[in-house]
Amino acid sequence: MDSIFAPKSSSTSTLSSPAFISRFLEASSSRKFSSLTFVGSRPIRYSSYSTTFSMVSNDVSKPKIITGDFGYVLEDVPHFTDYIPGLATCSNPLQDNPAYSVVKQYFVHVDDSVPQKIVAHKDSPRGIHFRRAGPRQKVYFDADEVHACIVTCGGLCPGLNTVIREIVYSLYHMYGVSRVLGIEGGYRGFYARNTTALTPKVVNDIHKRGGTILGTSRGGHDTSKIVDSIQDRGINQVYIIGGDGTQKGASVIFEEIRRRGLKVVVAGIPKTIDNDIPVIDKSFGFDTAVEEAQRAINAAHVEAESVENGIGLVKLMGRYSGMLQFSS
């Protein structure tokens, strides 16, 4: 995924690492959220690889697949240049930042990808790859034109406020963005709730609190109203933090944005304590969930050992992955 910011005329300070945005963009390109894909009606050429977009009759997206030599397959993520070609680019402001400009090969090449399977036989096909996350040398937004928003949806997860804080810090101090809006109360907050202006001062110590300062909810996904709100407010970068259902909703929002031809970025940030996202090492909140599970397991163990024929039974969530149970 290409970087989406452009420099502001004045220099910016650096109080946050760009690795955070790189990490969640990497997560959003994993197979679990491969439904976040762009579809169209024409075959195109991408570098030395070919890809075909397709649309089925019920308007459900098929994955954006790029194939190459020796069995190379890239499960790509969508990008607004797929439906708005010829957009002008600018230099990434990080190249003028003294904290990062001294690092050689800091920017990620546009053709870099990460293999799904690290270990492979020498004669086997190269297999499935995912788009490598990280800052690019060229970006598509000038900082002065960016109006970003952040929304949290679904159940609570440890670290939500930290994620919100780091997005705001990265936008302000690394890319020079000064307009960041917090959408309160989940998806329905786009059209039925108040909004909060997010600045570094507002989010300074929110990482010390639990929950989410923006509030959250389940449901309330009215695609037309949400995109109307995005368009009316002049928002052009949408950061959506949530789990499976939330990311499916983000995919629908992107499809409506694509249909309207809007220059709007939708970035899905996976929120799960199950750690069932391929490619990345850990999803945020997983370590805390393991620690809390260990407390319950230890308590049950003490109870079971203290009585004759005692049995301790602890039920943990985790969908189909078992990562939480295995690590606890």
pLDDT (tens digit per residue) in 67-117: 998 899 998 888 888 889 889 999 888 888 777 766 666 788 888 998 988
Mean pLDDT of 238-242: 96
Give me the chain's average pLDDT, please: 80
Q: Are residues 121 and 260 in the same domain?
A: yes
Tell me which residue has tokens 């969640």.
Answer: 24
Secondary element (H or E) of residue 130: strand 127-131
317 shares a domain with 177: no
Q: How confident is the model at residue 256 (pLDDT cuts 50, 70, 90)?
A: very high
> Do 118 and 166 belong to one domain?
yes
Residue 83 domain-assigned (yes or no): yes
Beta bridge partners of 113: 131
Q: Is 76:50 a contact under the CB 8 Å cutoff? A: no
Q: What pLDDT does 213 receive?
A: 96
Of 300 and 55, more confident: 300
For helices 160-169 and 19-28, what crossing angle results, to 10°?
120
Q: Write the CB contacts of 154 (distance below 8 Å, at least 6 apart in sequence).
A: 186, 216, 218, 242, 243, 245, 246, 271
Residue from 282, 211, 287, 216 nearest 27 by CA? 282
Looking at per-residue pLDDT, the higher value among 213 and 12 belongs to 213
Boundary (domain end) residue, out of 224, 239, 270: 270
Q: Do 191 and 62 lie in a common domain? A: yes
Is there a catalytic annotation at residue 244? no
**Are 85 and 205 contained in the same domain?**
yes
Rg (CA), the chain: 21
Mean pLDDT of 59-74: 80
Eight-state DSSP code of residue 102 = T
- Domains in the chain: how many in total? 2
Q: In the structure encoding, which two tokens stand for residue 39, read together?
A: 């579809």
Q: Which of 47-56, 89-98, 281-290 comes out lowest in average pLDDT?
A: 47-56
Q: Is 21 exposed, middle or buried (0-12, 13-18, 19+ CB in 10 A)?
A: buried
Provide the 8-state DSSP code for 82: G
The residue to which tokens 């762009």 are assigned: 38
Are residues 216 and 249 both part of a single domain?
A: yes
Distance CA(68)–CA(131), nearest Å, equals: 14
Does 9 map to a domain? no
Which range among 15-24, 98-107, 191-200, 218-227 shows the weakest confidence by mean pLDDT? Answer: 15-24
179 shares a domain with 86: yes
Q: Which residues pair with 74 in a beta bridge?
A: 66, 129
Reported as type and span, the H/E element at residue 21 is helix 19-28
312 within a domain of the structure (yes/no): yes
Whether residue 1 lies inside any domain: the answer is no
Taking the complete model, does pTM exceed 0.85, yes or no?
Answer: no
User: Does 4 reside within a domain?
Assistant: no
Catalytic member of 59, 274, 276, 287: 274
Nearest Cα to 310, choosing from 301, 319, 318?
Answer: 301
Share of the chain above pLDDT 90, in %: 44
Q: How confident is the model at residue 278 (pLDDT cuts 50, 70, 90)?
A: low
Are residue 264 and residue 300 in the same domain, yes or no? no
Task: Look at residue 238 and give its three-state secondary structure.
Answer: strand
277 within a domain of the structure (yes/no): no
Question: CATH number, domain at 39?
Answer: 3.40.50.450
Q: Which pLDDT score, from 0 to 100, does residue 62 have?
A: 67
Q: Are residues 291 and 265 both part of a single domain?
A: no
Does residue 225 share a domain with residue 175? Answer: yes
Cβ partners under 8 Å of residue 83, min gap 6: 38, 40, 258, 261
- On whether residue 54 sits in a domain, the answer given is yes
What is the per-residue pLDDT across 20-43, written as a single tens digit (0 to 9) for each?
Answer: 333 333 333 333 333 332 223 222
- Same domain flag for 38 and 123: yes
Domain range for 292: 286-327
| Residues 147 and 178: beta-carbon distance below 8 Å | no
* Residue 57 covered by a domain: yes
Q: Are residues 264 and 213 in the same domain?
A: yes
